Amino acid sequence: MVDAADTLRKHGLPVTAQRVAILSAVHHHPHATADEVAEQVRSKLGSISRQSVYNALNVLTEHGIIRRIQPADSPARYEDRVGDNHHHLVCRSCGRTEDVCCATGHTPCLNASEEHGFAIDEAEVIYWGLCPSCRGGGHASRPHRHSHS
């Protein structure tokens, strides 16, 4: 595990306290939302502006240092783990997110039967279901819109 500041330097990015704290927060809280990252950073630095959080997360994402995932009905989430083609498993009820390795080896399903002339560069897979806690009691902590009446 490399140092956050080093990672930034390695990518030619100016090292600021905010960036370091943000990158570190993402590392220690995989799949955190921008808000959650902001909370974490505030507990370290005392304060940070919302815009700085978004700026940093965007810059880090553009440089491939972190990855952004945007499941339906959830704000964007960020993760450290880049470079390997893994997917996500999301709880419909509480939004809990887990990593899952690619079931069929590498770059699965990347052969869409019809390409419609598109230049496809990624196949994004999201598994939807209910996490253990939400299966049990049925006491959903976040009502979702997918319920079949």
Partner DNA sequence: TGGGGGCTTTGACAAAGTCCAAATCTGGAT
Partner DNA sequence: ATCCAGATTTGGACTTTGTCAAAGCCCCCA
- What does 19 interact with, of DNA, a second copy, none (CB < 5 to 8 A by kind)? DNA
CA distance 55 to 132: 35
CA distance 8 to 15: 6
- What does 82 interact with, of a second copy, DNA, none (CB < 5 to 8 A by kind)? none
Determine, following the binding rule CB under 8 A, whether residue 84 of this chain makes contact with a second copy.
no
Sign of dihedral through CA atoms 76, 63, 20, 45?
negative
Q: Which amino acid belongs to residue 92?
A: R
Q: DSSP character for 14? A: P
8 three-state secondary structure: helix
Nearest distance, CB of residue 48 and a second copy, angstroms: 21
Determine, following the binding rule CB under 7 A, whether residue 9 of this chain makes contact with DNA.
yes
Decide whether 13 or 131 has the Cβ nearer to DNA.
13
Determine, following the binding rule CB under 7 A, whether residue 65 of this chain makes contact with DNA.
no
Determine, following the binding rule CB under 7 A, whether residue 26 of this chain makes contact with DNA.
no
Decide whether 69 or 130 has the Cβ nearer to DNA.
69
